[in-house]
């Protein structure tokens, strides 16, 4: 789902022409605003309606192929979709109970959804960017490019900057690392957490479930860049800014690279010629 497009109050209808382009749908705003009164976060978006004509629509970093009609979807559409996704995950996850323990299965489901979205979106975002810094992997003598991994710090910086900007239109506020495989990303104002009621116990539970989605996004994006990680999240609010949160990324230690050799034999019936060719 695309996050681009400025926050108008208008809800538009998506054309059914290209259903495979799930994440790239952009639509001309046609129908009058009908859902704006329902969400409190939309009140400040109403004012932006007046300045609509003076604003220039934000340019995305993507090169749009000419076959895709250009249009925009309102930001709040995705917010509603996310909240509905949480409801659905909660109601269909067969947990130990309806309490906090039941929420964990739901959070796992949401994390898996986030993984898929992050993986695919990372391919798209990394498209226009030149090749990230590479460094030689541990088995670089034989396996070559299959093990030349992207520098983890470069990959995490890419997630913090370009990836985050495409989703939230801002960068991650703070990045810390201990240079031994652990990273901490801090964001002071996550858009999806803004509308939670302050100071309630339920907010914390809801926030942890909402945060499972960005956890999955980060995990998916890094997995597409070749890093196997596990991501934890924390909800750091101080009841003034509900949006503060942090993500802890921990790199899993690399397993043996025997798996990469077996997939090469699927390309040709000949026995591995690579070793012979490389000795020439």
Partner 1 sequence: MCALACLAVLDRQNAPLYVRGDFSSFFGSSPSFDGEEPDGSVSDSRGIGGAASAEAGGGPTPPAVNFASLRHQFMIHAALDHIDEKVRDIISLGGQTNNNDMMYLGFLCPVEEMRLYGYMTNTGIKIIAMVEDAAGVLQQQREIELKSLFSSVHVLYAEYLLNPFAKIGGEIVSGRFDEGIRKCVYDFNKKHNF
Can you give the binding site for partner 1, defined by CB under 8 A? 20-24, 63, 65, 116, 119-124, 126-127, 129-136, 140, 144-146, 148, 150-151, 158, 224-226, 259-260, 263-264, 266-270, 273-274, 277-278
Q: Shortest approach of partner 1 to residue 1 CB, angstroms? A: 10
Minimum CB separation from partner 1 for residue 208, in Å?
A: 25
Least Cβ distance, residue 106 to partner 1 (angstroms): 19
Interior/surface letters 61-96, b for 16+ CB within 10 angstroms, e for the rest: eeeeeeeeeebbbbbbbbbeebbebbeebbeebebe
Half-sphere exposure of residue 215: CA atoms within 13 angstroms, side-chain side: 25
Task: Write down the least CB distance from residue 122 to partner 1, Å.
Answer: 7
* Residue whose CB is less far from partner 1, 115 or 247: 115
Taking the least distance from each CB to partner 1, the nearer of 121 and 247 is 121
Residue 201 or 269 having the CB closest to partner 1: 269
Torsion of CA 41, 91, 216, 65, to 10 degrees: -70
| Residue among 44 and 116 whose Cβ is closer to partner 1 | 116
Judged by beta carbon, residue 201 or residue 273, the one nearer partner 1 is 273
Taking the mean position of all CA atoms in its chain, how far away is CA 159? 9
Minimum Å gap between C-beta 131 and partner 1 is 4
Are 172 and 189 in contact by the 8 Å Cβ rule? The answer is no
CB 144 within 8 A of CB 247: no
For the record, the structure tokens of 117 come out as 């979205």
Give the SS3 label for residue 230: strand
């Amino acid at each position: 789902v695309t996050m681009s497009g400025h926050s108008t109050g208008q809800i538009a209808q998506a054309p059914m022409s290209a259903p495979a382009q799930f994440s790239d749908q952009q639509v001309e705003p046609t129908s009058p605003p009908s859902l704006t009164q329902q969400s409190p976060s939309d009140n400040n978006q109403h004012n932006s309606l007046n300045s609509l004509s003076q604003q220039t629509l934000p340019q995305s970093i993507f090169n749009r192929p000419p076959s895709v009609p250009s249009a925009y979807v309102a930001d709040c559409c995705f917010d509603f979709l996310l909240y509905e996704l949480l409801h659905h995950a909660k109601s269909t996850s067969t947990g130990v109970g309806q309490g906090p323990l039941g929420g964990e299965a739901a959070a796992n489901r949401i994390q898996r959804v986030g993984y898929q979205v992050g993986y695919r979106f990372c391919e798209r975002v990394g498209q226009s960017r030149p090749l990230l810094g590479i460094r030689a992997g541990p088995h670089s003598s034989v396996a070559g490019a299959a093990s030349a991994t992207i520098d983890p710090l470069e990959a995490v910086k890419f997630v913090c900057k370009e990836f985050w900007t495409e989703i939230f239109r801002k960068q991650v506020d703070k990045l810390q690392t201990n240079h031994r495989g652990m990273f901490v990303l801090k964001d002071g104002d996550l858009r999806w957490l803004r509308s939670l009621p302050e100071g309630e116990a339920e907010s914390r539970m809801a926030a942890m479930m909402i945060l499972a989605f960005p956890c999955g996004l980060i995990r998916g994006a890094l997995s597409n860049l070749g890093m196997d990680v596990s991501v934890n999240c924390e909800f750091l609010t101080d009841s003034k800014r509900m949006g503060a949160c942090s993500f802890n990324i921990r790199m899993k230690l690399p397993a043996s690279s025997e798996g990469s050799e077996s997939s090469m034999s699927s390309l040709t019936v000949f026995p591995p010629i690579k070793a012979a060719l490389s000795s020439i």
